[in-house]
């Protein structure tokens, strides 16, 4: 029932003002609204399916071990926790179109080529593992990455080398790579679907979204918008790059090419290990394929360049020749919020919790950070696991939130 407290021991309903309706904001809005809190969400985007937040321009790879190439142990542990949380978080979300759009008329929606882009579907979530691939001649670059992951991953979690026969059995349409490693236990989520479903689910549970609202600053118990101040028992500041200058956040450019390749047989995400860059290829339902680059140190949010487009699509074609006749639906760029150390931060004080710096790991660590934010705010009973905490490990082993300095 919308607005009903979430199980025994649910926290007393509070007035909560949430700044930022990106991935983390929607994860928290979905849980807090279901727990019966009076929740108002403010975001400058014009609506729930507007592509302003960085979470829209992401492949949705849930790869805690693979991300150890550029992450620390805390990100790895947050990723493992999130892998446990995702299936429970998407329970009860409304089905939404694969296009992630409320209207079929948007020009950026996937082309109508036989797949049901506009038919509502449950949020697509899979845990089939992922693959690392390398071409002949790139052994040195691949070995550096694989050895690094093997050294940082816990026992039993390192990349497992597979021969080409095993690779063909897993992914018959892959042709060209000379080397392959399987990352077992990793997964993927449809980011478009999840972003829209979380917003619609939270709204259906009682959250009030205030779209087109610019947030100027956040402080304990008060949110300052361009339309005036908003008072609340608790303020959650989840604005990403919008939190400047209160936090030293920078934007890191991400680029993605969206393809439509009906008939392509691809079951799990791929990463092509190359001396100059990392290219990922991620399948989605409806014959969709995403091709992207990990990150570019730039705050340029202009459209993708010709060189990047050619490099990404050539890399994808080099391992999946069946993409030759794929159609380029559209390209996308966005800025991911990163702090100077490229690691996430959670800072709490009475009446205010700030979370930022998810960098390239938002979909991997978002659920665990949302859980930590609820704990820091004294609202742990409002989380996804309130009614069944025994199903997973205790969060006590995760990094503790920082306390704000006086």
pLDDT average per 10 residues of sequence, the chain (406 residues): 40 91 98 96 96 94 95 95 96 92 54 59 97 97 96 93 98 98 97 97 98 96 96 98 95 95 97 88 96 86 91 96 96 95 96 97 97 94 55 38 38
Pairing status of strand 160-162 against strand 278-284: unpaired
pLDDT of residue 115: 46
pLDDT of residue 406: 29
Q: Where are the domain boundaries for CATH 3.30.9.10 in the chain?
A: 127-187+251-338
Distance CA 83, CA 62 (A): 7
CATH number of 15-96+190-249+340-403: 3.50.50.60
Q: Where are the domain boundaries for CATH 3.50.50.60 in the chain?
A: 15-96+190-249+340-403
Distance CA 41, CA 25 (A): 8
Class of domain 127-187+251-338: alpha beta
pLDDT of residue 386: 56
pLDDT of residue 117: 65
pLDDT of residue 116: 55
Cα distances from 37 to residues 52, 135, 156, 269, in angstroms, run 26, 53, 42, 37
The reported pTM is 0.90
pLDDT of residue 384: 65
Classified as helix, coil or strand, 100 is coil
pLDDT of residue 397: 37
């Amino acid at each position: 029932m919308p607005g009903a407290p979430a199980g025994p021991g649910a926290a007393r309903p509070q007035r909560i003002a949430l700044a930022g309706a990106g991935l983390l904001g929607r994860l928290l809005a979905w849980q807090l609204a279901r727990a019966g809190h009076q929740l108002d969400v403010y975001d400058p985007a014009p609506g729930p399916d507007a592509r302003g937040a960085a979470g829209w321009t992401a492949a949705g790879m849930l790869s805690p071990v693979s991300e150890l190439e550029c992450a620390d142990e805390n990100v790895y542990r947050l990723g493992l926790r999130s892998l446990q949380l995702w299936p429970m978080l998407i329970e009860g979300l409304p089905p939404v179109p694969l296009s992630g759009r409320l209207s079929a008329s948007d020009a950026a929606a996937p082309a109508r080529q036989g797949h049901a882009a506009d038919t509502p579907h449950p949020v697509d979530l899979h845990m089939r593992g992922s693959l690392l691939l390398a071409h002949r001649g790139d052994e040195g670059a691949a070995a550096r990455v694989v050895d690094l992951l093997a050294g940082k991953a816990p026992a039993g979690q390192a990349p497992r080398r597979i021969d080409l026969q095993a690779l063909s059995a897993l992914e018959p349409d892959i042709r060209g790579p000379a080397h392959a490693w399987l990352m077992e236990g990793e997964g993927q989520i449809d980011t478009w679907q999840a972003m829209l479903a979380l917003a619609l689910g939270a709204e259906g549970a009682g959250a009030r979204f205030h779209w087109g609202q610019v947030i100027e600053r956040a402080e304990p118990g008060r949110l300052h918008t361009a339309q005036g101040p908003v008072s609340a028992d608790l303020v959650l500041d989840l604005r990403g790059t919008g939190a400047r200058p209160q936090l030293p956040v920078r934007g890191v450019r991400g680029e993605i090419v969206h393809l439509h390749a009906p008939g392509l047989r691809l079951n799990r995400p791929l990463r092509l290990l190359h001396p100059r860059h990392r290219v990922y290829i991620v399948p989605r339902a409806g014959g969709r394929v995403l091709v992207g680059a990990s990150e570019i140190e730039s705050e340029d949010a202009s459209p993708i360049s010709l060189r990047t487009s050619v490099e990404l699509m050539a890399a994808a074609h080099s391992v999946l020749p069946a993409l030759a006749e794929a159609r380029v639906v559209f390209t996308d760029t966005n800025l991911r919020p990163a702090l100077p150390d490229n690691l996430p931060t959670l800072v709490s004080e009475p009446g205010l919790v700030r979370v930022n710096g998810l960098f390239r790991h938002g979909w991997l660590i978002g659920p665990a950070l949302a859980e930590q934010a609820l704990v820091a705010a004294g609202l742990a009973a409002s989380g996804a696991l309130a009614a069944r905490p025994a199903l997973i490990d205790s969060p006590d082993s995760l990094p503790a939130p920082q306390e704000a300095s006086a």
